[in-house]
Chain A
Amino acid sequence: QLHLQESGPGLVKPSETLSLTCTVSGGSISRTAYYWAWIRQPPGKGLEWIVTMDYSGNTYDNRSLKSRITISIDTSKNQFSLNLSSVTAADTAVYYCARGALRDFDFWGQGTLVTVSS
């Protein structure tokens, strides 16, 4: 059974970098058939796609966030990570990691709330 689990600090100070990791279990992150993504949801609001990557590091990102995003994948640990720099209160959200095809998400993690506040 596939399981995705987000982890990282729940509180980040303004102007600092938000760092999250998604640990995948029940399946290999190296399978070429799949892509791995980050999506966020501000409290009480809708969903915003952030970035999609494949196991070899090729990425597709939301240009509204592009300059602040750094992503990585660690196939030895079956994990992928997101760094979002220069955060503001507008970056407060539940962050989800997900698996899918290039243009789709078929399986989501449970999400982790990140609050940006001093």
Chain B
Amino acid sequence: DVVVTQSPLSLPVTLGQPASISCRSSQSLLYSDGNTYLNWFQQRPGQSPRRLIYKVSNRDSGVPDRFSGSGSGTDFTLKISRVEAEDVGVYYCMQGTHWPITFGQGTRLEIK
């Protein structure tokens, strides 16, 4: 199985400051169709996961533009340009290139 490793696992951030989460996979996530199936999800406390970013860098409808995704191959990053209180929660990256689909361990973002 493809192992997806996130860092850090805990991320205390001051309101208004930027935040960055790394996601690394044990194999390249570039698929034969030319797409890279790496997605980011946000799980707020007590809620189900919500997709923020799909195929590395495509923001979902309604997702604030302070969220951005980047990367290629095995190294990916989710960035929040200015953290707001509503961003508190756990962030997961997920790879869909290889079966079985696998998730990172999650990064818990909290406000300092």
Interface residues of A (CB under 8 A from B): 46-49, 52, 60-64, 96, 102-111
* Shortest distance between the CB of A22 and any CB in chain B (Å): 12
Q: Known: A47-B49, A111-B48. Contact between A104 and B103, CB under 8 A?
A: no
- SS class of chain A's interface: helix, strand, loop or mixed? loop
Query: Which candidate, B12-20, B69-77, B81-89, B92-100, is the interface stretch facing chain A?
Result: B92-100
A16 to chain B, nearest CB (A): 25
Q: Closest approach, in angstroms, between the C-beta of A80 and any C-beta of chain B?
A: 17
Summarize B's interface: helix, strand, loop or mixed: loop
Q: How many cross-chain pairs have Cβ atoms below 8 Å apart between A and B?
A: 52
B56 to nearest A CB, angstroms?
A: 12
The reply to whether B51 and A106 contact each other, CB–CB distance below 8 Å, is yes
B15-47, CB under 8 A of A: which get 1 and which 0?
Answer: 000000000000000010000010101000001
User: Would you list 27 pairs from A and B whose C-beta atoms are within 8 A, ordered by A residue?
Assistant: A46-B106, A47-B41, A47-B92, A47-B94, A47-B103, A47-B106, A49-B100, A49-B101, A61-B100, A62-B100, A96-B48, A96-B49, A102-B96, A103-B37, A104-B51, A104-B54, A104-B55, A105-B39, A105-B49, A105-B51, A105-B94, A106-B54, A108-B48, A108-B50, A110-B47, A110-B48, A111-B48
Interface size on B, residues (CB 8 A): 24
B55 to chain A, nearest CB (A): 8
